[in-house]
Amino acid sequence: MRARLMQATIDCLVERGWAGTTTTLVSERAGVSRGAQLHHFPSKRELVVASVQHLADQLNGDLQRRHDEAINGRGHSTRKTLGLLADHFTSAIFVASLELWVAARTDAELLEIVQPMERRWGREEHRLAVELLGVDDTHPPTRALVQGTLDMMRGFGLANTLSDDSRRRGRILTEWAELIDANARPAAPTGKTG
Amino acid sequence: MRARLMQATIDCLVERGWAGTTTTLVSERAGVSRGAQLHHFPSKRELVVASVQHLADQLNGDLQRRHDEAINGRGHSTRKTLGLLADHFTSAIFVASLELWVAARTDAELLEIVQPMERRWGREEHRLAVELLGVDDTHPPTRALVQGTLDMMRGFGLANTLSDDSRRRGRILTEWAELIDANARPAAPTGKTG
């Protein structure tokens, strides 16, 4: 029942935004009585805090899954890896996170929760991008290229909320793969074959 | 009085976000009576539509001013140009525009206004970035590099809403200037000296 309430909260954030998300709507959507909802989460804030944590878990699982898919596929080109990252940053999870992010900007209590969470996500996304792209994160220009690429991905996520931006994004990513291949330093080989 | 109401609307968006912006708050902040406010803008939507247009004018003026500053300074390095663009995308105008953008995602009537406006801004920003950086926009890899850089700037704007992100941003931009200098095709010289 907790999981159902949290999923309903996220769905509600995606469909109606922060302001349109109410505990009444969430309990209706989850098919849970108001009494039961209040028992699990006495306030909107508590409901959202738990759901955001749930969102973070989903997000990490999502990135990890994409990573594993890429590894299984072996010959994962830079272009394919960039496509996986872009899919991640234009997903419903990104949209829900954007709603929280913007709401937190003008809500000090929410900011206290969202700020460290976004920082943690940022670090996790960076670590995965470095691993997926197979580049050397200790090389400052390469590190900056990965960071800038992730900020670009967030820009893509933002652009995609207003209209389907996939064609423009696809064209940029095709050129971007060449940019990365030409400018990023590959990671040192792991000791395995040495 | 119209200008004062519109400026107050934008200030209100920046400080309190979309949901926290009300016509009552705006008229108080502008020092305008409710009657006069209702005479100029009968509804919140009308107030915001006009203010968004005002915002667009400010935005264009802001970019143009930065452009002129760069031209006056003559020896405007790629790093300096990137700094000017980043300042623009982390300004109060970006924040107000982000509030509108996110609100429009779940408000069909607002979306009808914001979508073409954001498209126009995007084109204008791209044109100015090409001019400021002095690169050849007809060269596909260069065009994609400028587009990706502007999406990165929007990502910077987003990151900066939660905490002061200027140190991280500065480090990325220093590497980014070298990336652009090494990978973008310079614009063909204008006929002036030929």
B-chain CB neighbours of A111 within 8 Å are 162
Between chain A and chain B, how many beta carbons pairs sit less than 8 Å apart? 134
Which of B24, B11, B21 shows the shortest CA–CA distance to A19?
B21
**To the nearest whole angstrom, how far is the Cα of A67 from the nearest Cα of chain B?**
23
* Whether pLDDT at B73 is above 60: no
Q: Which percentage of chain B shows pLDDT scores above 90?
A: 45
A141, B19: Cβ pair inside 8 Å?
no
The pLDDT value recorded for residue B194 is: 35
Complex ipTM more than 0.85, yes or no: yes
Q: A171-191, pLDDT tens digit by residue?
A: 999 999 999 999 999 998 765
The pLDDT value recorded for residue B187 is: 93
B151, A159: Cβ pair inside 8 Å?
yes
Mean pLDDT of A47-68: 77
B-chain CB neighbours of A179 within 8 Å are 141, 144-145, 148, 179, 183
Interface mutation vs chain A, best among B11, B78, B102, most A CBs within 10 Å: B102
Mean pLDDT of A126-135: 91
CB neighbours of residue A92 within 10 Å: 14
Mean pLDDT in chain A? 87
The pLDDT value recorded for residue B168 is: 96
